Chains A and B, each alone.
Chain A
Amino acid sequence: MKALSQRRRHPLAALALLLMALLFTGSLYAAASSANQAQAQTTTASEDEVEEGNKLFVANCASCHGIGATGSDAAPSLVGVGAASVDFQVGTGRMPMQMDGPQAQAKPVQFTDEQVGQLAAYVASLGAGPAIPSEEITDASQGDPAHGGELFRVNCAMCHNAAAAGGALTRGKYAPGLADVSEKHIYEAMVTGPQNMPVFNDANVTPEDKQDIIAFLKTIEEQGSPGGADLGSLGPVSEGLFIWVAGLGVIIAFTVWLTSRSS
């Protein structure tokens, strides 16, 4: 201690202090931003898988995304989008794209699970990106639906609707309804931000939070509608349409019946 106190007025002391401060903030930043970084590849793909994936890619995807997935005028580069992105886009049938339009439509899946895995492995081998999430973290039964509901209303409901029934975006784009979407695909959508969806990275919504959101979605999906037929969960518009068409229709039928034997 004595040695240190003696040297504190040394001309280089300020420089040393500055260096130490820089080192400290730098490492703090590194620690903080590592949460932002894509999760390291947890699944190690075999060479075979990558090779098969490459073949599938050349045959089915390269016409737009280019050989080596470096992109073209028609489609973006896929270097660094990660396995999760491929698993979502191909696994929900959005890719290969049915037609050019405001946004890729979901349609029947075009590949087997094995082929989707191979494609994902190939794209993942091109550059680091979000991996396919583990089954543990997407397990809805481990999440807290109430907390997930709060997160959903703050982060997701403005596009997907509070009851996850979907909603319109500008110029023909839309946020789809989330019923019948698998846990894995919900997670992947949050991590990769497909179509017009923003990316919700792990610093923004932690993996546990994502699990809670999945738990919320699965809870409201499984419980059904406590009050009877939900009329599409579209809010007051479908309710108004129902009372004008069905409600008033039945009432009018009765009024006609009641006055059919008129004086």
Chain B
Amino acid sequence: MSSTTAAKPYVPKTRVGKVTDYVDSRVGGSGIVKEFGRKIFPDHWTFMFGEVALYTFVILLISGTFLTFFYDPSMAETNYDGSYLPLRGVEMSVAYASSLDISFDIRGGLFMRQIHHWAALLFVASVAVHMLRVFFTGAFRRPREFNWVVGCVLLILSLAAGFTGYSLPDDLLSGNGLRIIDGVMKAIPVVGTYLSFFLFGGEFPGTMIIGRLYVLHILLIPAVILLLIGIHLFMVVLHKHSQFPGPGRTNTNVVGYPVGPVYAAKAGGFFFIVFGVLAAIAAAFTINPIWNYGPYDPSPVSAGTQPDWYIGWVDGALRLMPGTLGDNFTFEFLLPFPWGVNTLSLNVLIPALVPAMIVFTAMFAWPWIEAWVTKDKREHHLLNRPRNAPTRTAIGVAGVTFYCVMWAAASSDLIATHFMVSLNDVTYWLRFLVIFGPIAAFMVSRRISLALQRKDREIALHGRETGRIVRLPHGEFIEVHEQVDDYSRYKLVAFESPEVMVPKPDADGKVSRLDKVHGRVSRFFFEDRVAPVTPREIEASHGDHHEEVAGAKDREAITSR
């Protein structure tokens, strides 16, 4: 509070100024713009997948609202009398008939259906890629652990949104998907049948399920997603954006452009790019041609029935699971209960639940698992290059391999027909790969990470091989190495490389069991390591070149050219 000069009230002169000032003096917008508009965001192409997810979600809300105007989630029976000839007169549910009407009789309806569905596929894909980026760069470390968890929940919600939407047209394909859900539920011992009856309002398919999924799809799930997106973005603002290490980039600053005006313009433009790309795809490529599949009827199951890509891995796990082992072992157990005998069908429960449990548990717990291994309690705002955390990268790649093998299994029939191989052999190979693929991927990717680190070290110390072979006057051949500039070298040397932590005995001179385990895990993580280049080593490497006697001057002359 300065008492000398009383602040002169701002008097706007132009008409626009007056209106703006009127609003601003009531909502305090300028304060928000001042604070938020100066927020800095670093630039890197891998940082933009979260944005893609946000934009596709907005597109989903807009196109979805259009679809709700014309879609009727009723399972009442009707005879189709729309303009699609090959289905005219066929008995079907009102839900399917209204989906067909959206496709064929409502102007722009097919485009809206297709952009909604393509946007859904891109939404989940961009969420997945965004999470992979966060994982492989270590952006989940303190203080961002909770935001990682919020992101994991968002991933599960987007799967739920996708699956409930997939079921709404009530065509043959979506009905088959619901039938699998029904089968998995009924495989749960004792309560399975009751759960299924509760969800479907009686025996499958009943007359309730479409209406229920509709409410979940348009009301509950998007509302929770929106809420969590709010929390997610709030935490991004709170923590500030992480950045890759580089000259001038430290753990306490953010180097980049401010939101206003640069980033706002870029982000706004990017929204329209995403919208445009999706619109072009929706206009030119069919997605989910429901008219091909026909109305749902529990008896037919079409060849080539698969879920959308993000549920594919669970479908693949179901396809990979053997029904029996050998001739006798069936994975089915009869549980005697006081009220009678119940069946435990592990050949359904294991593939439907276990892979998903492994993947999601590891995903949610990872920030704390890694923090326990490294005992690192510091805040991290500088990202890792994936090669500089070899074990984490290898575990990530193993997880991706595990997922992708199951993903491939969901299209085993198409692999068989398109590569002219036996469906059975495809299944046997994928069964082998789902177990040994991740192990091989772990070993290979850790070796590649370490090799890349060694390459970085080599370049930092001795420069790049230029491929120029020069013969010196006294007859010696040398290859000219081009020294990297300091700016580039910084990126090669500025990283931390944790070392193995040996368990220390406590006051009684004993090592607790947990510490022993920790020591072993720490060795597993950090035993193989390439130490970062130290300033002393860089000095020494330069010294090397000068100390040599023969031809030192000639060399100097050539390499400095």
- A residues whose Cβ falls under 8 Å from a Cβ of B: 102, 145-150, 153-154, 157-163, 165-172, 174-175, 216, 219-220, 223, 225-231, 233-244, 246-248, 250-252, 254-256, 258-259, 262-263
Contact = CB atoms under 8 A, between A and B. Distances in A.
B304 A235 contact: yes
Interface residues of B, number: 74
B303 A227 contact: no
A162 B312 contact: no
Interface string B268-294: 011001100110010111111101111
A263 B257 CA distance: 7
Nearest to B262: A263
A162 B421 contact: no
B303 A170 contact: no
A146 B80 CA distance: 10
A242 to B, nearest CB: 7
Interface string B36-70: 00000011111111001000000000000000000
A236 B125 contact: no
B85 interface: yes
Contacts of B255: 263
Nearest to A220: B86
B104 A226 contact: yes
Contact of B304 (A167, A172, A248, A258): A167
B424 A228 contact: no
Contacts of B122: 243, 247-248, 251
Contacts of B273: 251, 254
A150 B296 CA distance: 11
B137 interface: no
Contact of B303 (A175, A230, A239): A175
A240 B308 contact: yes
Given A146-B88, A262-B44, A263-B257, A163 B309 contact: no
A157 B125 contact: no
Contact of A225 (B52, B125, B289): B289
A197 B524 CA distance: 56
Query: Chain A: interface secondary structure?
Result: helix
Contact of B286 (A145, A220, A228): A228
A248 B302 contact: no
A150 B287 contact: no
Contacts of B45: 252, 255-256, 258-259
A83 B165 CA distance: 50
Contact of A162 (B118, B284, B287, B294): B294
Contacts of A256: 45
Contacts of B126: 248, 251
Given A146-B87, A146-B90, A174-B417, 8 more contacts: A145-B86, A150-B294, A170-B423, A228-B285, A237-B309, A239-B288, A247-B277, A252-B45
Interface of B: 42-49, 52, 85-90, 103-104, 110, 114, 118, 121-122, 125-126, 129, 172-173, 255-257, 266, 269-270, 273-274, 277-278, 281, 283-289, 291-294, 297, 299-309, 312, 410-414, 416-417, 420-424
A91 B208 CA distance: 51
20 contacts: A146-B87, A149-B87, A153-B297, A159-B303, A161-B302, A162-B294, A162-B304, A227-B114, A227-B289, A228-B285, A234-B304, A236-B312, A237-B414, A241-B309, A243-B122, A246-B281, A251-B122, A251-B126, A254-B270, A258-B266
7 smallest beta-carbon distances between A and B, as pairs: A167-B303, A240-B309, A227-B286, A168-B413, A162-B302, A262-B43, A172-B422
A207 B285 CA distance: 37
A211 B327 CA distance: 45
B312 A154 contact: no
Contacts of B411: 237
Contacts of A102: 422
Most chain A beta-carbon contacts within 10 A, residue among B49, B103, B414: B414
A243 B282 CA distance: 11
A236 B266 contact: no
Given A149-B86, A150-B294, A168 B48 contact: no
A169 B255 CA distance: 58
B268 to A, nearest CB: 12
A171 B85 contact: no
Contacts of B257: 263
B300 A146 contact: no
A235 to B, nearest CB: 5
B43 A259 contact: yes
Given A165-B304, A243-B309, A258 B48 contact: yes
Contacts of B46: 255
A220 B266 CA distance: 45
Given A242-B285, A243-B118, A158 B302 contact: yes
Contacts of B312: 236-237, 240
Nearest to A144: B89
B43 A230 contact: no
A172 B305 CA distance: 19
A154 B302 CA distance: 9
Contacts of A219: 85-86
A263 B244 CA distance: 12
A146 B292 contact: no
Contacts of A241: 309
A239 B424 contact: no
Contacts of A146: 85-90
